[in-house]
A and B are shown apart, each in its own frame.
Chain A
Amino acid sequence: MSRLILKDLVKKFDDVAAVNHVSLEVDEGEFVTLLGPSGCGKTTTLRTIAGFYQPDQGEIYFNDRLVNNIPPAKRNTAMCFQSYALFPHMNVWDNIAFGLKMRKIPQDEQKTRVAQALEMMSLSGMDKRMPGQLSGGQQQRVALARAIVTQPDILLFDEPLSNLDAKLRVQVRVEIKEMQKRLGITSIYVTHDQDEALAISDRIVVMNQGQIEQVGDPQQIYLHPTTSFVAGFIGLANILSARVVAREGARVQLELPFGRLWAFAGDLRAAVGDTVKFSFRPENVVRYREGAANRIEATILHAIFMGDAIDLFLDAKGTRLRARAESAARLKPGDVDAFSIDETAFQFLE
């Protein structure tokens, strides 16, 4: 187990910085997810931690040990790959035992540890099978067993679930989380799937264009995004700009084309007359009930039944908004209806 510290990490490919001055500290036993769209530098960061890439600048520490110049084989990390990367010419047992053989662990201990790993991943009895004879889910479990059996300081996950079907993905991510908590191994998990990130992480690092946009626990990231990129990337968001026209205690009034809205200001420093950027979630735009704040009128453009709710696309005097209605509501395109936005739903962005 290790603390992981990245200090001002830069990794360039042909003068393009895939990772651009990234600094991050991960505590012992913590589960941290690097989340972002493809090309945001999350996988490059992970592979640099593993030692497959040499950073152009910056330092990587495992506890107090600088590992920049330590080859991947000596870093004692264990990586789970998107493709599973099982050795196709070895059976399940030999795949799992590979890391132990490389570390010259005595035969007896190898046997006990592989058997333990097999049992932990519910793979008992499959040890003689070849990878080609296993389902995707089983292969992923072999890859996990192969990773944890070496008792790594840091577990690295490179989109390990993206080749599984949706149901299995949810199941395996719970298994990964449980296993990680039980073993207490520091873990870095890379994904572009926000649901996965929210479900599995202690902390989420949202990355964009090689840089960190925001770091926080899942609730912070979802409920209090600080940049428009984070607001837009995690879940759905209405991202707008408006002028502050009044300030009253902890509230500000914003002027928008479809009316004036009161918003809880939080620690917003803007003065009257400033233009601010902010976001609110579709689920905070609901059908108006008597006494609710911020009443607005809008035309329904599309109403999409999702089962647990209805997704609404609204036109409020030329401004497009996303909203949510309860699934029993009878709404159809062309209807004009009243909606309200809760004052506390506003997240002011940088």
Chain B
Amino acid sequence: MEKKPNSSIDYLLLVPGVGFIVLFIGSSIFITITQSFGILSVTGKSQFTAANWIAIFHDKESLDSILFSLKMGLMSSIGTLLFAFPVALFLRKGGAGKRFLASLIKIPLFIPALVAAFLIINLISYHGIVNEGLLALGIIKKPLRMLNDKFGWGVVAIQIWKNMPFVLLILSSSLASIRDDTIDAARNLGAGTFSVLFKIFVPLAMPGILVSMILMFIKAFGDFAIMSVAGPTYPPSIALKMRNTATLFQEWDKAAVLGVIIILTTILITWIYSRLAEFVTGGK
């Protein structure tokens, strides 16, 4: 049956949803961008200037926090992938305890990031369960610094735990679409476990891998909650830095610059993703 084209009345249906996005999100993004150039400024007079941008790029702490957030985004997305992919492969095959495992893995979905962060603090803090356990077993002499560490391992650990279910869902559906015959054909033609993994599973799951990595990156890059609980004292993450700049130092225009950087990075990463996806799937 042929569908009639939308009449002008039908477009009214869009008003609540699209209108909301345009009005609140769109306009605030617009204001953030203009503010970063001194226009429509909340504080001081409104006048075009590149001074905020120059100041941010000359401020070591800002640069460090941008780099640190990029690092956390990258590490978290790679880390989650490394943990989730084998589990997704196992769940594809199934076997004993598949249902139990599948529901166990979904638990983090129901726990807010901040709560998750506090839960994991119990585990990895200076006098947390892991350190006390290792000390008791005599494996280490001195507690390890895993929380608020300079590198950000604590943050990465919590991100991985928190985001496993999302990534697993995406990867599972990606892997489920691979036919058993395809795997059997590869094995039949001489592919061992390693070749089946890297020549068949990974390339065929690549769209899912890319989607999950990009989502993970965006979440971890702009994250506030986990970074503020488990992140290092220096540098702050870009979101923390933005909060500090705006509320602690009342430099809203500079905070706007950081906001624009977060948005731009997200757009850039998404663009790279779409190009990669095109490359992987041959442009289909």
Contact = CB atoms under 8 A, between A and B. Distances in A.
B190 A150 contact: yes
Contact of A78 (B182, B189, B195, B282): B189
B182 A99 contact: no
B187 A89 contact: no
The residue among A71, A83, A98, A146 with the most chain B CB atoms within 10 A of its own CB is A98
A89 B199 CA distance: 10
Interface residues on B, range: 20 to 34
Interface residues of A, number: 27
A89 B203 contact: yes
Interface string A99-138: 1001100000000000000000000000000101000000
A150 B281 CA distance: 27
Contacts, number: 66
B189 A102 contact: yes
Contacts of A81: 181, 184-185
B181 to A, nearest CB: 4
Interface string A138-163: 00000000100010000010000000
A98 B186 contact: yes
Contacts of A79: 184-185, 188
A102 B181 contact: no
B141 interface: no
Contacts of A132: 284
A85 B184 contact: yes
B282 A130 contact: yes
The B interface, classified by DSSP as helix, strand, loop or mixed, is helix
Interface in B176-197: 179, 181-182, 184-192, 195
A190 interface: no
A231 interface: no
A298 interface: no
A52 interface: yes
Given A83-B179, A130-B282, A103 B184 contact: no
B178 to A, nearest CB: 9
B116 interface: no
Interface string A53-87: 00000000000000000011110011101110111
B273 to A, nearest CB: 18
A150 B185 contact: no
Contact of B190 (A50, A73, A83): A73
Interface in B270-284: 281-282, 284
Contact of A88 (B187, B191, B192, B204): B204
A102 B191 contact: yes
Contact of B191 (A52, A73, A156): A73
Interface of A: 50-52, 71-74, 77-79, 81-83, 85-89, 98-99, 102-103, 130, 132, 146, 150, 156
Q: Which 9 A-B pairs have the closest CB atoms?
A: A102-B190, A99-B189, A85-B181, A85-B185, A72-B187, A79-B188, A81-B181, A83-B181, A73-B190
8 contacts: A50-B188, A71-B187, A81-B184, A81-B185, A83-B181, A89-B281, A98-B186, A98-B199
